[in-house]
Structure 1
């Protein structure tokens, strides 16, 4: 009576072996697991590394918001952007030029200018996608400081190393020919020492998009103020743009209706100029299309306010636009022209 049981067990065993030995091509597609190589290829396809900067800076927020909007799971237009935390604006450009896996970066225009002496062909290796936002120069001083010249030899804080202020601030002061005693401590510490008159700090320098929370929320005695900067002084026109700090920006520090002239550092989204027939170039071209097609989404509540002023057509002096970005703009212009009736007045 045990023979049927043994026969049944043998049948089950042989059936199982038959399934194992059946060629993969003969198995149903849904049951066939992906190989390790296929899994790796699928996960890495259509990925873009974007160097963003320090965690506390505005550029990494822009990088994260770009990833939030342009990421796409649909296989026909799949894309996945990885924002990368770095040590700051100079490191972003260095990463774009030399670090594996980085295809795009958010940089300051003056960092690009500094690299021109180190990388003579940088214009051929980097192209800009968007002129993102201006980072305004804020020179905030104690009451006894009245003019920029009064800062000569005095302690001026430029925030911690790696920040935009720590990089661009000394460059700007060098072009202003202002020789100061530079310090690089966290701005909250420096502001508190300056407010109390401790540590000999005469000024703090911010280079960031306005308004700055520290000046909106802080309580300052009469006489604390922002110093104006004349863009016609020093070597500025090739690197910076004119800007103003207004009473609307800082109602506690600037009297109503008054402005403080300053300069701004353009902040750019740039791409590495991969060969046009390469896989990396195709990924960046898709990034441009997703980003430009969805730019209106960045103007919704919850995104950085500076997105509202981003203009796709805005140009960057001294740098060529990344080819897929220029092609997208050209396509849009051609579409608009096709919609204009023949003989209609051109605006």
Structure 2
């Protein structure tokens, strides 16, 4: 009997041993995670109200695009549980994002292209639309890609040809429409999702595919067919009012550019935009929470593992004809960010005395500032390469 009791006691000790040890070594995740605490306490009315009061939603872009990656980066860095929740939403492109910010309940912010609002207003889709929007910051420049057969060496050869410009609720068709119109070209636009359009181009059903996005742009990087290449887009005078010069290299897209070669193109700014809420509203309060967290933690975004396009972002860079969100403007002034930007602009002028001497009108000043933005983006990109 004693032997049986001893065996039973030993078995109980063995069975209970790991459990007791686990209790000592395992930790309660709720002790270190604000999000889990919130979930566990969700039955509390106060918790529910606090979570909703400090949640900011951001409409981004389509799967595989740069907007989605920026949205994910913002959530990764800024979302700290119930103090500030950042919820990125997969969007359908710049035009749809404008509509979502205006009309979709609960959308606080969105990433849109700078030329989209101009297009909607000039074409009569909206009146005084820029008065309904504010911007937190200009983000980065999105390059334009014209992919066509190697027999096409100039964009003018696409006049009258069948050219895909993505779906009509995105921003690519807007940029393409503006660019071709200003260059006096009239291609036959078709609205096909980019991946499908590229397959149709392979099959000879369409002549070219237009894409607009921050490099490295996934759909362009993934297109491999040695019959096609990137067609240059010159920085012609009709484009200089709204666009920036840009250069693509074989390092950017070895699948479409010969080794050591470069391709000129244009770029359009991407903008972090919001509805123009009155300062005494709760929606404005949430935007203020976001701005403080975003601007305070901004240096984090300009280092790996975040998207390389963050290197191009200058928080204080002005956006012509747009009004900045007042709380964002106040933050920049109180932290002396504008003074730093002016110092960099002065450096640019010193390095370009001939250009500075030609500034005689407001239009000249605007063109000069756009060149400065391009220069600064190139400098940031070079710094990124050297830091690797």
Question: Could you state the TM-score of these two structures normalised by the residue count of structure 2?
Answer: 0.69
Give the distance between the partners of 1:217 and 1:37, measured in 2 at CA.
Answer: 48
SS in 2 for 1:308: helix
| 2:94 counterpart (89, 102, 108) | 89
Unaligned runs of 5+ in 1: 1-32, 338-346
Unaligned runs of 5+ in 2: 1-40, 341-349, 351-388
Give the distance between the partners of 1:35 and 1:193, measured in 2 at CA.
Answer: 53
**1:311-322 counterparts in 2 under 5 A?**
311-322=314-325
Give the distance between the partners of 2:242 and 2:144, measured in 1 at CA.
Answer: 13
Q: Encode CA deviations 1:27-52: one digit per residue, 9 max, x unaligned.
A: xxxxxx99875454223111222121
Relative to its length, the structure with more helix (as a share) is 2
**How far does residue 213 in structure 1 lie from its aligned partner after superposition?**
4.4
1:135/1:209 contact within 8 Å kept: yes
| 2:118 counterpart (113, 118, 121) | 113
2:130 maps to 1:136: no
Count of residues in correspondence between the two structures = 299
| 1:228 counterpart (226, 232, 238) | 232
Q: Tell me the C-alpha RMSD between the 2 structures.
A: 2.8
**1:12-51 counterparts in 2 under 5 A?**
38-51=46-59
1:247/1:258 contact within 8 Å kept: yes
| 2:247 counterpart (236, 244, 247) | 244
Tell me: CA distance 1:161–1:35, structure 2 relative to 1, closer, same or farther (3 Å).
same
**How far does residue 214 in structure 1 lie from its aligned partner after superposition?**
5.0
- Counterpart of 2:37 in structure 1 is none
SS in 2 for 1:53: coil
Give the distance between the partners of 1:36 and 1:334, measured in 2 at CA.
Answer: 41
Q: Encode CA deviations 1:70-99: one digit per residue, 9 max, x unaligned.
A: 12336xxx2112222332211111111222
Q: Encode CA deviations 1:213-268: one digit per residue, 9 max, x unaligned.
A: 4554554436x33222222243x233211111123323354345543221111110
**How far does residue 114 in structure 1 lie from its aligned partner after superposition?**
2.1
**How far does residue 119 in structure 1 lie from its aligned partner after superposition?**
3.9
| 2:175 counterpart (168, 189, 212) | 168
- Counterpart of 2:272 in structure 1 is 269
